[in-house]
Each structure stands twice: as structure tokens, then as C-alpha cells.
Amino acid sequence: MVLCQGGEAAALPAASGTEQEVPLSREDGAATGQPRLCPAPGVEAAGSEERRIIINWNLSVAGSKKKAACPGLGLFYTILSAFLFSVASLFLKKIEDVHSVEVSAFRCVFQMAFVLPGLIYYKTGFLGPKGKRIFLFFRGFLGSSAMILLYYAFQVMPLADATVITFSSPVFTSLLAWIFLKEKYSVWDLLFTLFAITGVVLIARPPFLFGSDVTGIEGSYTDHLKGTIAAITSTVSAASTFVILRKVGKSVHYFLSIWYYAVIGLIGCVIALFVMNEWRLPYCGKDRVLLILIGLLGLGGQIFLTKALQIEKAGPVAIMKTMDVVFAFILQILFLNHLPTWWTVGGALCVVASSSGTAIRKWRQSLKKAKQNEI
């Protein structure tokens, strides 16, 4: 090793018979005029090579840590989310003396209770950015409306039928994004939309197409038709929510989005319950337990779905979410003793095909765009 002063080298003996390499930079000692250690000739190249090996090893270790994540974990979270949502829907069917609006109010209370600590922790505030509040308001209004209408549909029509109709949401999302966000809407999107509409028609079975004798429904056909209209409206509202969230993007924390959803939903539910004079606690202890379980399962389903979207691409998650329909059919047969008709099965196939096709197409477009950005 040599001692350098202002760029001139002087010999410096090693202290222990072995060379100790010291990390150096071009500026060390140059600007201050202080002595600095320089590697002896021949040692510099070896040290550089050693440092290069260490850096490459560290990078390889970091890359292996990233790849060490459990493969398929996001898809497992999606299946678990679908199962929790389906069980919550089954419990909703089992509640006898509680209106769907009151169930929605309890769901909003649970969401507020769990989201509030997150808002405080992340210091997001309770209103959000001034330019985004109008979007957050409509997100909360449309999202809570979709929940209330969906719960009503679950109560008055077969579980599988309502689930299948709500599954056409991705198709309507593409249509609304084309109208309001000027996103591309191709012939394939139109075909998927027609498939979804066909599936809904097969489930609703309007009398002017299928005659007045409609079989395989719960209760009267009037309630079945009301439930169908509520499910379709819920689907369109949910699709509008997705468009609003896409418009807002990442400029608003997702906790704020859920907060608006819960607060506006609770206010709307309380007003509606007083207007309809339907506010009452369940008479049966079983219904009270089911209300709590619905709130917990709905929150758990949202958490796992959010986690799935964080670690997995949206396309595979949307496709795997078709398990909602599978679980709905299974739970309806096992616990509600209601066999779906062939019309419902045909409608389910049409809707699942259209939503899966839409998800696959969007996924491939995102992959293609990512490759173009890399180039």
C-alpha cells in the first residue's frame, strides 16, 4: 500500500504482513490536501474485481428474495375472497326479519370501525384532496347504492341468479369507460356485452319472451323481476364506481375511498330506514350473530381481494373471481335446497364467458403496453 499526498505516492509498509484494502473515491484527500491511502499497483485491479463480485452477489440475493414469494398466493387470496363473499351472501339469505338496507347499514358500521385507524395511521385526513372530493362523493354514493341493491337482490331471488348478474360488471365497466374516459371499445367488447346481456335475459326470463309460466324462481315472479332489476342496477353502479376509481387513480389513498363508501352508505341507509319505518333490531339472537358475521366476512373478502390485486395482475384475479359463481351454486344447492334451472346455468355460462373474455383481453393489452414501454 502507498501513502498519497496531492497525487504523489510514498511507500507505506503493511502493518501485519497482509494488505488491508480501504474503500476509496476520487475525491478522498484531493480537495483537502490530506494524505490518503492508495492501493499498490496490481492490488487495485484485484480489489475492483472483488468488489464487482460482491455487488453482483448482493444483487442476485436481492433478486432471489423477490422471486421467493409464494407463487399463486394472489390467486389463493382471490379464491378465499370469493368464498368469504359467498358465505356472507348465504348468511344474508338466512336472515329472516331484517331488511336489506339495515344489513347494509351494519356493514357500513363495520367498515368505518376498521378503516378509521388506517386513516389516522396514514394521516390521510377524512375529506381527501379538494379537487378529488366530488369524485370520492360519487364513489361513495354509487358504491353504497350498489351494495344495498345487491343485498336486496340476494333476499328476493336465488343466490346464484343474483351472483351471476352482478358478474357482468366488467363488461359494463368497459362500456362506461368508453363513454366517459374515451377508452378504446372494440368489436370484441361489443361481443362480450351482448353475451352478458344474453345471460341476464336467460336468468330474468321476461314473460314476453318465455311466456307467463316461469319456473325455478323463489316466491312470485314480481319479486324475481324486482330482484333482477336491482341486481342489474347494482352492477351498473359498481361499474360506475370502477370508472371513477380509474379516473382518480393513485392520487387518493384507498382507505379514503373505503371511508367515503362507508360514511355515505351509512347516512343513506339511516335515512332510508326512517323513511320506510324499517329500523328495528333483530328479534332472534341468531339473526344478530349473522349480522355480525356478514360484516366481518364482507370486510375480510375486501381485504383479501385488495391483497390479491397488490401481488397479482388484475387479469388473472378477474378470471379467478369467477369462483364467486361456483361457490354460489354450491352453497345454494347444499344449504338452500334450491336446484338451479338450465336457464340459470346457460345464463351463468354466458356471463362468465363475457367477463372472463373481457378480463383476458384487458390483461393482454396491459402486457403488450408494458413490453412496448420497456422497448
* pLDDT (tens digit per residue) in 330-360: 998 898 888 888 888 888 888 888 888 887 8
Q: For residue 179, what pLDDT is reported?
A: 86
* Domain membership flag for residue 200: yes
Strand pairing category for 8-11 and 36-38: unpaired
Q: For residue 31, what pLDDT is reported?
A: 43
Place of cell 347494509: 104
Confidence of residue 233 (pLDDT cuts 50, 70, 90): very high
Q: For residue 25, what pLDDT is reported?
A: 41
The string of DSSP codes covering 200-222 is HHHHH--HHHH-S---S-SS-HH
- What does pTM read for this prediction? 0.71
> Are residues 244 and 369 in contact, defined by beta-carbon separation less than 8 angstroms?
no
Strand residue runs (E) in the chain: 2-5, 8-11, 36-38
Q: For residue 214, what pLDDT is reported?
A: 66
Q: What average pLDDT does range 286-293 have in this prediction?
A: 85
* pLDDT (tens digit per residue) in 32-46: 444 444 454 544 444
Q: What average pLDDT does range 72-99 have in this prediction?
A: 86
* C-alpha closest to that of 164 among 325, 329, 309: 325
> Are residues 325 and 160 in contact, defined by beta-carbon separation less than 8 angstroms?
yes
Please give the mean pLDDT across all residues of the chain.
76
Q: Over 90: is that where the pLDDT of 131 sits?
A: no
Q: For residue 18, what pLDDT is reported?
A: 40
Most confident of 63-67, 352-356, 365-369: 352-356
* Domain membership flag for residue 257: yes
* Domain membership flag for residue 63: no
- Taking the chain, what is the end-to-end CA distance rounded to the nearest angstrom? 46
Distance CA 307, CA 6 (A): 58
* Number of neighbours of residue 12 by Cβ within 10 angstroms: 14
> Are residues 145 and 268 in contact, defined by beta-carbon separation less than 8 angstroms?
yes
* Domain membership flag for residue 338: yes
Q: Over 80: is that where the pLDDT of 99 sits?
A: yes
Q: What percent of the chain has pLDDT over 70?
A: 75
> Are residues 261 and 143 in contact, defined by beta-carbon separation less than 8 angstroms?
yes
Confidence of residue 21 (pLDDT cuts 50, 70, 90): very low
Domain containing 312 equals: 73-374
> Are residues 236 and 153 in contact, defined by beta-carbon separation less than 8 angstroms?
no
> How many domains, the chain?
1
Q: Over 60: is that where the pLDDT of 199 sits?
A: yes
Most confident of 15-29, 103-117, 311-325: 103-117
Q: Over 50: is that where the pLDDT of 30 sits?
A: no
Regarding predicted confidence, which is higher, 117 or 98?
Answer: 117
Which has the minimum average pLDDT: 6-20, 58-72, 286-300? 6-20
Angstrom CA distances, 368 to 54, 355, 374, stand at 36, 20, 10
Strands across the sheet with 36-38, in order? Answer: 8-11, 2-5, 36-38
> CA-based angle 162:165:168, to the nearest 5?
150
CA torsion through residues 146, 103, 344, 325, sign: positive
* Domain membership flag for residue 93: yes
Which has the minimum average pLDDT: 12-26, 28-42, 218-232, 263-277? 12-26
The gap from C-alpha 190 to its chain's centroid, in whole angstroms, comes to 25
Which has the minimum average pLDDT: 88-92, 135-139, 197-201, 254-258? 254-258
Q: For residue 213, what pLDDT is reported?
A: 63
Q: For residue 6, what pLDDT is reported?
A: 43
Find the helix or strand (DSSP H, E) in which 118 lies.
helix 100-122
* Domain membership flag for residue 51: no
Distance CA 163, CA 325 (A): 6
Distance CA 22, CA 343 (A): 78
For 149-158, letters b (16+ CB in 10 Å) and e give bbbbbbbbbb
* pLDDT (tens digit per residue) in 302-335: 778 877 876 777 667 777 888 888 899 999 889 8
* Domain membership flag for residue 357: yes
Q: How many CA atoms lie within 13 A of 49 on its CB side?
A: 5
Q: What average pLDDT does range 133-155 have in this prediction?
A: 89
* Domain membership flag for residue 207: yes
Confidence of residue 74 (pLDDT cuts 50, 70, 90): confident
Q: What average pLDDT does range 83-104 have in this prediction?
A: 87
Confidence of residue 66 (pLDDT cuts 50, 70, 90): very low
Distance CA 43, CA 48 (A): 9
Q: What average pLDDT does range 147-153 have in this prediction?
A: 90
